[in-house]
Structures are given as C-alpha cells and as structure tokens.
Structure 1
Amino acid sequence: MQKIHYPSDYGRKNAGGADDKLELKSLLDKLSERDSEIKQWCEKATAEIKDTGKIASETKSALEKLSEEGIKSNARILELEQKLARRGGGDEHVVKSIGELMTDCEDFKALSQKGRGTARLNLKAVANITSATSGQGGVGVAIQPDRLPGIQMPAQRQFVVRDLIMPGRTASNAIEYVQESGFTNSAAPVAEGAQKPQSDISFELKTTTVKTIAHWFRASKQVLADVPLLQSYINGRATYGLKYKEEEQLIAGDGTGQNLLGLVPQATVFDDARRKANDTPIDTLRHAILQVRLAEYRATGIVLNPVDWESIELQKDSTGQYIWVNVQDGGQQRMWKLPVVDTTAIAEGEFLVGAFDLAAQVFDREDAAVEVSTEDADNFTKNMVTIRAEERLGMAVFRPESFVHGTFKKAA
C-alpha cells in the first residue's frame, strides 16, 4: 500500500506545493555545482595518474563522496518531480487504505483511549473504495497501478517519396515554367555551300499553383496544461496528418479543385508491348526502367506498394532458394541498382519508375506549422483549445516522359 506523506514528513507547510518547487530548484543548482566540482577532481586525478601512476587516496575519497551525494540528490529530484507531476493543479493525490481510515476515525481513537466500545467506519460516506482522491480524506485501492511513461501510439506510415524529389521554395502562389513540347531534329551532314537543314523546337508555358493542406481538432485546455507530453504528442499527430496526406497528393493527386497534380497522373503509361511471356514483376520493372532510358533519362528510383515488394522478395528459384534477398541480413531495398521505396500511398499492384531528382520539384510556400488558440467558437467558456496544422506547397513535373507508371499483370 502507498504510504501517506504528511507535510510534517518534510518540514514543509504544503507538501507537493511551492516549497517542493523551491527545493527542486535548489537541488538542481547544487547538482550543477557538484558536476563542476567533479570535473575539477577528475582533472586532478588525471594529473596524478600521469605523475605517479595512481590516484591519491584523498582524491579517490572525494570522488566517492561526490558520487554518493549525487545518487541521493538524483533520487530526491526524481521523487519531487513525480510528486509535482501527480499534483497537477491541486493538492497531491494520496491514497489511504481502509485500515488507515479506520485508525484515523474518531470512533477508533475513542476506543483506543477507553479500551472498550465499538468503532464503525462508513465507507459509503467517505468515497468509493476503488477510487483515489485528492488530499488526505479519501480512500483508494490498496495497490495502485503503475502508469507507464509515454503514450502508446498507433503505427505510422514512413514518409519517403518527398526524399526522392528535388526540393525548392517559392514566395508566390503559383510557379510558372517553360516546357519543351516538341522537337524536330533535322541535323544532318551538309556539303560545303549547301543549304543547312532547319530543326523545329516548340515550347509551352506551364503553371502549377500552391495548395494548402490543413486540418484541426479540439482538446481540453487543462489536459494540455497539465500533461506536456500529451501536448507534444498532439502536435506530432497534427503534423503527421499533414505529411500523410501530402505523400498521397505527391503520388496520386488528381489536380482537381484544391488537389495537387501528382506524379502518377502525369507519368507516361507503361508500354504493355514490352511485356514478355512469363514475365515476373522483376522483369516488368526492368522494362519500365528501359522505357525511361529510351526517353533519354536515367531512372533514379522505384515506388511500390509493400505487398508487391514482399512478393518480389519472396520469389524463389527451382531449388527453393530466395532469389532477391539474403534472409539473414535482409539486404538493401534496391532493385536493378535503384533504391526501392515501399509505401501504402501507392495502390497495390501498381508501380512508378522515374528520374525523380531531375524531372520534378516540390516547392514549399509555408512549412508545416501548428497553432493553438482559445479564440474559436465557444472554447473560452468550455476551457477548450483549437489546434490547427497546415502547410502550403506546390509541385512541378518538368519532364512527364521521365516517369513511367503501370500495373503488374497477374499470372494466368
């Protein structure tokens, strides 16, 4: 059972209150001074070893004493921090067992003095015996549960597609660029004095606009104030939500409304004529790399769904040996000398191969930011806060033919 710590235990008026904070600050200051003192003694010990080959007994004793004091101080600091964390905005939460409540009640004290009579404790008049209460008048369970540190978060997607694309910044709401739309190459050997052939090049002005990705949610103001860890957790989830949607937009945004125009809608469709009988997904990806190369670009990456990447890694030869991976160390996520990015942002059965670092660029207008405000709707009267996260970005695909998108055809 948890021991009840009364104010007299520490000689303070309010256990867990302002005095605890003062003591904590004093201990931290002393700890800093102790660290400086240890540094000086360590320097002295180093000099002694250099001069005599050993540490003097006086130096050794001083270091041992400082170490013991540090252990005690750290233990006390931990105790104070835990008390202050439990305390929150009110008195320290303490729990009394039924036996402690019985010995503290007036009936029992009278019984002890007189040596006869009856002592009765009405538990219903005190509190539910399964709940902890604030202050020293409550009753709780005899054994308190341990609260594990941190918050157990659900699984999160790893964002990797942006890393393949060339980064950039913009101070405008739109990005314009000139794209070559046609080239007729008439270059040829020419005899001296003969008319030179004319080649034709046509250009097209392209524009991509900056889009906003945002979301918001509400949380209790007290929760944010009392649990800093929860506050940072919420902020993290806010930015995670942005990056989750961003990756989907970069890959498959359809460009309508407020959507980005992603890589897949702008990519060249895989040429099915390149497929051969009995082709595996490994063969299909090599054909796609060739298609990029024939467009005079060199592919720099492959994007797959994790399910398709697993099926590739699990392929075996006629003897049952894995073809693509050493199961002992896993190997690198590479295929045909290119890095493989597996993400659920691309649909199962699809692939994207391209010259990511050359053919496309992401332009950040405003980096992801999280804002918290009480000035929203009825937040003030309900002690709520609104948390909003947003970012603004655009993407330009300069050379659509350098990307190839296709599907893995199922074997018949």
Structure 2
Amino acid sequence: MNPKEKLAALQKAMRAIVDGAKASSRDLTETEMTDLETKSTEAMELKEQIERGEKSMALMDRISNMKSDTDPTPKGPDNTPAKSLGAHFIKHLGQRSLKERGTITAPEFKAATDTQAVGGHEGAYGPLVTDIDRSFVLPKRERLVVEDLLGSGTVSGTAITYPVFGAIEGGTGMVAEGGQKPQLHVADPTWRTDALSEVAGWFKMTDDMAEDLDYVVSEINSTALYDLANRSEVQILSGDGTGQNLLGIRNRSGVQTHERGEDTVADALFKAIQKVQTATQFSADGLMIHPLDYEELRLGKDGNGQYFGGGYFAGQYGQGGILENPPVWGLRTIVTLAAPQGEPLVGAFASAKVFNKGGVRVESTNSHQDDFTNDKITVRVRRRLGLQVKYPSAFVKVNITEGL
C-alpha cells in the first residue's frame, strides 16, 4: 500500500469513528479520542511524505528534461515484469534511495517462468573506483529443480496439519447378481503437524556500493538468491527435522528402502520404481541422483563398447542426437548434489507438496546496529516454507553400494 492509499484508509477510519459518535448522539470515548489523535498524527506525516515525494518527482522531471544533444533518447515507462529477484527489488525501489533511514521492503517476488532461475546477472561485479567491466562472466551453476517435481501451495498459518495415509485394505472385485460386494477400506490415517521453517540470510554493502544499482541486482541474484534456493533444496530432500530444520522427504517415517544386492544399478532403480506402484498404486515420476552416481550410469557400455545412453557425438551406434542428461527408465532425472552419493531417491514426487508463506522476500535497512554511522546497508533474503508428505511409501531410497 503506497502513502496515498494509506492516507485514504486513515481518513476513512477517522470519519467512521466520528460518524459513529454522531449517529449515537454521544461524545467520543477516551479510547476513540486517543485513536483519533494517533491516526491524525500519522495522517499529517503521510501528507508531508506525499508532498516531499511529489516535489522530488517534479524536480527530477525538470532536471531530466534539461538534456543536451548528446543525451540518449529517454525511454518510456517499463511495465514488463521483472525477470529476477534482484531486478524486482530495484524496480520497486522506484525513486527511493537505499541510503534513506528505515526498512525498505519489496513485495513478494513471483517469477513469470521458473522461480528457481538465478539469471539476470547484469551490472558491475563490485564497487570499482575507475573503469567498470560490464561484460564479466559468472560461472554456470547447477539449476535447482526439486520443487518443479513437487506440488505447491500457500498457507496462512504457521503450521500444516494433514493426514498420512496407510495402505489400502481389500478392494473392488467382480460380483454376481445379488452377491456380496467386497469391502474397500483405506487404513485410518495418522494426522501429522509440520511447522513452517524459515530459510534466510543477509549481507552488508557500503553506501558507495548501493549507488551502483546494477551491483545490487547481481549481488542478490548471484549470491543470496542462489544460496537460498540451494539451502531450500537440501532441506526439502534431507532435512532432519531437528531445531529449525524441515523434516525432509528422505527422513520421513514410512519411506521405503531397496538394496541393490547383486543387481546392476539400472536394475536396482527399476525395481524401486515397481515398489512405488505396488505400495501406493502411484507411478514414479522422478529420480534424484548424485552426479557421481549418474556418471556410472551415463558411462555404461554394452558388450560392443557402445554407450547405453549414447556417445559423446551421437546416440547409440551413431543413431539420433545426443542428450545432455538422458532420463533413466523414462523418469525425469534430476542430477543434484543435494542427493547423497550412493543412495538415489525414486518416487512419485507429485504426491508431496511444498507450502510457501509470503514467497521469496528481499529487504534492506541502514538502521541495523551501527550501519547508519558507518555508511553501510544490511540486505536480507528469506522465505518461509513447509513440506507435506501424505504418502511416504511413494518414495524409495535405493542403496546402490555394490555387493550388498
């Protein structure tokens, strides 16, 4: 809500108090008088803020119109949605300065396509005194996609209560005319409550750094946002549920296990896929696997020395194109360091759900500790999330250690 909207709401609230007293032909109560005085003071401050903002905008407009022949042609307002969290923060900063006292909050960021994207690295690499290299290259980082496999939802409270379903007992069957129908019963569910957890971090920058907005965008995107997404992924998969940690999928009671034994890794994974369906009637839709475990599969060869997944120039025996990360047994295969080496996770990931409260947020202030007197700004990024797993048996941890 901007200052003008806040002022209108305050004025409406004050009129409602006065009109209520008049309608009852009574004087204002002590509580109403105190409330009106507080609202009146806040309204005056908002009016002054609006007037300062309008004066500032008018002054900047006059200065902007005083261009020389060498000035670039001014661009119209940009109404396109921000493509990254950093760009979103700068866009909603507007005419405000990162140096102003108090806390600056941008609204919830919802990317138009992939909420895990960490693109948009533009601007200077850091605060430089002389020349600024604007064509630097950041290292390519692993794309986090575990939440793409899971369902999603929002929550207004601080915890999620949901049923964890047991096995289906009995079932439907063929019945003769007038015959007894078989009973179908879902075992009584166990109700579970999971509290929301917060993933957050912060960093500082000097006022001089803040004057380079491109730097702020790149800093938020390349460091803070990526690290926030990485921590979220690890928690969703392997959180141990202690302290402020989520209870991740892998550590849920009821998750199945499968030992490789004398099978190949590929055979063990296929048997785990069947375990998902036989236990829940769900079809496995994803595989989370460590890069080194995937390497063993990807480099597997047949008796003729041909790669099962296609060679480094073409598919098997020169047929077809090459796939960067071909799926294993048709499952969407996620190669990630969040999966522990030696124990891939197969499952019906769509049966689980990640709940978010407030989305990913970025906030800044110069009022933290001694920031104001030391010309510093503190920036924090955070998100609150919870995990719902109604069918733990829809997931199988596969121990692919040889010979077990």
Amino acid paired to 2:250: V
| TM-score normalized by the length of structure 2 | 0.62
Match of 2:236 among 247, 250, 259: 250
Match of 1:297 among 282, 286, 290: 282
Amino acid paired to 2:328: M
C-alpha displacement at 1:313, in angstroms? 0.8
Amino acid paired to 2:384: R
Normalized per residue, the structure richer in helix is 1
Matched position secondary structure for 1:310: helix
User: Map of 1:310-325 to 2, 5 A cutoff?
Assistant: 310-325=295-310
Paired with 2:143 and 2:371, the residues of 1 have a C-alpha distance of 34
Q: What's 1:270 paired with?
A: 257
Paired with 1:327 and 1:306, the residues of 2 have a C-alpha distance of 17
Match of 2:67 among 7, 10, 22: 22
Amino acid paired to 1:336: W
CA-to-aligned-CA distance 1:136-169 (integer Å, 9 cap, x gap): xxxxxxxxxx753245434533101111101111
Matched, 1:221 2:201: no
Amino acid paired to 1:286: F
Paired with 2:308 and 2:171, the residues of 1 have a C-alpha distance of 47
Structure 1 range deviating more: 211-220 or 324-333:
324-333
Matched position secondary structure for 1:394: strand
Amino acid paired to 1:369: R
CA-to-aligned-CA distance 1:11-46 (integer Å, 9 cap, x gap): xxxxxxx999832785415x99xxxxxxxxxxxxxx
Residues 192 and 336 of structure 1: CA distance in aligned 2, closer, same or farther (over 3 Å):
closer
Match of 1:334 among 304, 327, 331: 327
User: Map of 1:173-188 to 2, 5 A cutoff?
Assistant: 173-181=158-166, 183-185=168-170
Paired with 1:317 and 1:190, the residues of 2 have a C-alpha distance of 50
Matched, 1:369 2:361: yes
Q: Where in structure 2 are there 5+ consecutive unaligned residues?
A: 1-62, 77-123, 314-320
C-alpha displacement at 1:399, in angstroms? 0.4
User: Map of 1:127-166 to 2, 5 A cutoff?
Assistant: 148-166=133-151
Report the structure number with the largest CA radius of gyration: 1
User: Map of 1:5-154 to 2, 5 A cutoff?
Assistant: 22-23=67-68, 26-29=71-74, 148-154=133-139
Paired with 1:193 and 1:280, the residues of 2 have a C-alpha distance of 51
Matched position secondary structure for 1:181: coil
Match of 1:347 among 319, 340, 362: 340
Paired with 1:24 and 1:156, the residues of 2 have a C-alpha distance of 43
Matched position secondary structure for 1:364: strand
C-alpha displacement at 1:193, in angstroms? 8.3
Q: What's 1:379 paired with?
A: 371
Matched position secondary structure for 1:282: helix
Task: Provide the aligned length of Structure 1 versus Structure 2.
Answer: 281
Match of 1:168 among 153, 159, 165: 153
Paired with 1:20 and 1:193, the residues of 2 have a C-alpha distance of 89
Residues 286 and 24 of structure 1: CA distance in aligned 2, closer, same or farther (over 3 Å):
farther
Are the equivalent residues in 2 in contact too, given 1:183–1:202 (CA < 8 A)?
A: no
C-alpha displacement at 1:192, in angstroms? 8.4
Q: Where in structure 1 are there 5+ consecutive unaligned residues?
A: 1-17, 33-84, 94-131, 133-145
Residues 23 and 270 of structure 1: CA distance in aligned 2, closer, same or farther (over 3 Å):
same
Structure 1 range deviating more: 366-375 or 148-157:
148-157
Matched position secondary structure for 1:158: coil
Q: What's 2:271 paired with?
A: 287
C-alpha displacement at 1:268, in angstroms? 2.2
Residues 313 and 234 of structure 1: CA distance in aligned 2, closer, same or farther (over 3 Å):
same
CA-to-aligned-CA distance 1:53-105 (integer Å, 9 cap, x gap): xxxxxxxxxxxxxxxxxxxxxxxxxxxxxxxx9xx99xxx9xxxxxxxxxxxx
Q: What's 1:402 paired with?
A: 394
Paired with 1:408 and 1:24, the residues of 2 have a C-alpha distance of 70
